[in-house]
A and B are shown apart, each in its own frame.
Chain A
């Protein structure tokens, strides 16, 4: 996993609530057996017509929007547990998603992919969406070590919460496998003492 420190970038607004992982990457594109290449089908059916031509009014096809942060409505990533959704966002160049809350499994998958799920209040989210729509060049700064989101044009910095362990993992590019494999003796001891064997 790549290390995550800070982002100085612009945002892409997706002002819909309950964006489910079937929208992020439809099931028919889950047939690959590797992690790469899912970005081209990110938001496939919102982004392209049935004949493969781009839908001009979808944000990812609007030239005025670019950047490494997707700013989306509440309950982002609900539905299917497919980690391919996080891989697709990452593969398409996103490094963070800002929303007012995330579905649990997506949040975990994003953290395991090196994609920061950054939760803000409903009010900040609404302001951010409106500000980016008004000025797509709005600079947004994410600083993970200090857990802050800054919008220099507002002269304002807000802090965000993240699990301290997952923060360390992201900053250092670690994942849970290394940690868990190192727990082997404790795990074997647990297996010996557990109450049931059936």
Chain B
């Protein structure tokens, strides 16, 4: 019986099935952070339970950490107490913690792959919806709530209903200036913010295959933005080359065994998907969002829709009012106040290289504040080793220390009310980057060019 990639991995992790049709699914890796774990640890303690497999949990502090002066104690008392609580819990239960100051610290979805924790064929969870990022390696990876964090702590398993399967193929070559971010914003704009609810999405097609691992992570990262629990891409030579040699990657004979298994991880030719979509890469141009959910995206040179179905009109107009835009208008020429380059979507070394390559010898516009937050200490160190820090500084960009930062504005990195921010992150929800902030999602290349021009432009006219 031909199977999809999701089914192959799922089947390999079913401990048992129960009468109501759900499966007890084994979880190989559990990533935790300071915001969604404390109540789970409390739950474990309150029930007098122990952690079932603490060595399969890795912790880091990322959501609620400052991106300046990380060597000093956190000044904000609630944030400090939350980060301290993580340290305390990890010590108590014997969990590996890459906390502030550790050379492996960083955004949970950046450090997993760079440490080789993320591997094909695994099941991975984290109390964070962007856990879908790890699907780029051909893993089943998805975000969970805090009650489920406690369940995995207690049993290394979750009780789950098998998801529906969707295949989204993008065929052909991407145009100049079009990146993985544009590809996924395009897909989400087609399927809508809830269009993949209930599905795991397998991305396929030659345009997807040609992406680097960083690009694939960007694509899978945003699966949740169309409602999908997860997204994944069949592992291939690009995947194996990325994983090999990383600290937690299998070594020696184990590597050979792993590779032999990983090479079986693809959807069989005749496998049946519950939904399939095929797009032409040539139709994709640099994208930007104009509204308050990630499905509200258009080509940079396009117009805000002028017509929407009656049932959606109230929500649509509320969104445009918040953003200060009109139906049918073009965004070209709109002045931008902030540029934020960071988040688990686009804060990897490739993203920083893209920005540096563009801004070298240029300078940001005077009225724009441009902030770059690397995804991890390793990305930061690599950027320094490559001289990217100096290029960014000369261009007037501020390179911060690693964390989730202004993607969700839990820490002090906030966009002021009413200000426009072109962000490489994943959500443009109302107030996401701070109360009243107005977010336009785009690629690192679009963000870099926007920072230099100070306004929304057709970037294809400005490529180096």
CB nearest to B258 among chain A residues: A198
Q: Which residues of A contact B26 (CB under 8 A)?
A: 187, 190-191, 194
Query: Does B155 lie at the interface of the complex (its beta carbon under 8 Å from any beta carbon of A)?
Result: yes
A104 to B196 Cα, complex, angstroms: 10
Smallest distance from the beta carbon of B434 to chain A beta carbons, Å? 8
Q: Shortest CB–CB separation between residue A148 and chain B, in angstroms?
A: 20
Write out the residue numbers on chain A whose beta carbons fall within 8 Å of the beta carbon of B197: 75, 101, 103-104
Stretch in contact with the other chain, from B15-23, B211-219, B355-363, B364-372: B15-23
Q: Which of B37-45, B276-284, B343-351, B388-396 contacts A (4 or more CB under 8 A)?
A: B37-45
Q: What count of chain B residues pass the 8 Å CB interface test? A: 74
- Contacts of B15-72 to chain A: CB distance below 8 A: 15-16, 18, 20, 22, 24, 26, 35-36, 38-39, 42-43, 47, 49, 52, 63-64
Bound: A197/B227 CA distance, A: 32
Contacts A18-B315, A75-B194, A176-B151; A105 near B42 (Cβ below 8 A): no
A20 touches B410 (CB 8 A): no
Q: Report whether B155 and A180 are in contact in the complex, using a CB–CB cutoff of 8 Å.
A: yes
B430 at interface, CB cutoff 8 A: yes
- A126–B314 alpha-carbon span in the complex (Å): 13
Q: Does A173 contact B (CB under 8 A)?
A: no
Distance, CA A198 to CA B56, complexed state (A)? 11
Question: Is B315 within 8 A of A17, CB to CB?
Answer: yes
Interchain CB contact under 8 A, B144 and A105: yes
**Cβ 8 A contact of A186, one of B15, B43, B427:** B15
Could you tell me if A113 and B409 are in contact, using CB atoms closer than 8 angstroms? no
* Other-chain residue from B20, B35, B64, B129 in contact with A105 (beta carbon distance below 8 A): B129
> In the bound complex, do residue A78 and residue B257 qualify as a contact, i.e. CB atoms below 8 Å apart?
no
B254 within 8 A of A: yes
Chain A: number of interface residues, binned into ranges: 35 or more
A50 at the interface (CB under 8 A from B): yes
Among B64, B158, B315, B430, which residue has its beta carbon within 8 angstroms of that of A45? Answer: B430
Work out how many contacts link A and B, with CB atoms closer than 8 A.
192
Please give, as numbers and ranges, the residues of chain A lying within 8 Å of B408 by CB-CB distance. Answer: 22, 27, 80
Which residues A85-125 have CB closer than 8 A to chain B? 86, 101, 103-105, 108-109, 112-113, 122
Q: Which residues of A contact B18 (CB under 8 A)?
A: 165
> A196 and B261: CB pair below 8 A?
yes
A72-88 to B contact mask, C-beta < 8 Å, 1/0: 01110011111110100
In angstroms, Cα B15 to Cα A183, docked, is 9
For residue B198, which residues in chain A have a CB less than 8 angstroms away from its CB?
104
Give which listed residue, A30, A33, A45, contacts B85 with CB less than 8 A: A33
Q: Is B293 an interface residue (CB 8 A)?
A: yes
Q: What chain A residues lie within 8 Å of B143 (beta carbons)?
A: 81, 105
* B245 on the A face (CB < 8 A): no
B254, A177: Cβ atoms closer than 8 Å: no
B90 → chain A closest CB, angstroms: 14
CA distance A103 to B224 in the complex (A): 9
> Which residues of A15-61 have CB atoms within 8 Å of chain B's CB atoms?
15-18, 20, 22-23, 26-28, 30-35, 45, 50
Q: How far is the CB of B91 from chain A (nearest CB, A)?
A: 16
Given A33-B85, A195-B261: A78 and B193 interface contact (C-beta under 8 Å): yes
Query: Could you list which residues of chain A lie within 8 angstroms of chain B, going by C-beta atoms?
Result: 15-18, 20, 22-23, 26-28, 30-35, 45, 50, 73-75, 78-84, 86, 101, 103-105, 108-109, 112-113, 122, 126, 163-165, 175-177, 179-181, 183-184, 186-187, 190-191, 194-198
Beyond the given A20-B427, A181-B154, A195-B12, please list 18 additional residue pairs across the A-B interface where CB-CB is below 8 A: A22-B432, A30-B410, A31-B64, A32-B78, A33-B81, A34-B39, A78-B293, A82-B35, A105-B224, A112-B147, A165-B22, A165-B159, A176-B151, A177-B151, A180-B151, A186-B16, A187-B26, A191-B26
Q: Which 8 A-B pairs have the closest CB atoms?
A: A112-B147, A83-B145, A198-B250, A33-B38, A109-B145, A180-B155, A75-B194, A31-B78
- Which residues of B approach A to under 8 Å, CB–CB? 12, 15-16, 18, 20, 22, 24, 26, 35-36, 38-39, 42-43, 47, 49, 52, 63-64, 78-79, 81-82, 85, 119, 121, 127-129, 143-148, 150-151, 154-159, 161, 193-194, 197-198, 224, 227, 229, 250, 254-255, 257-258, 261, 293, 311-312, 314-315, 318, 408-410, 417, 427, 429-432, 435-436
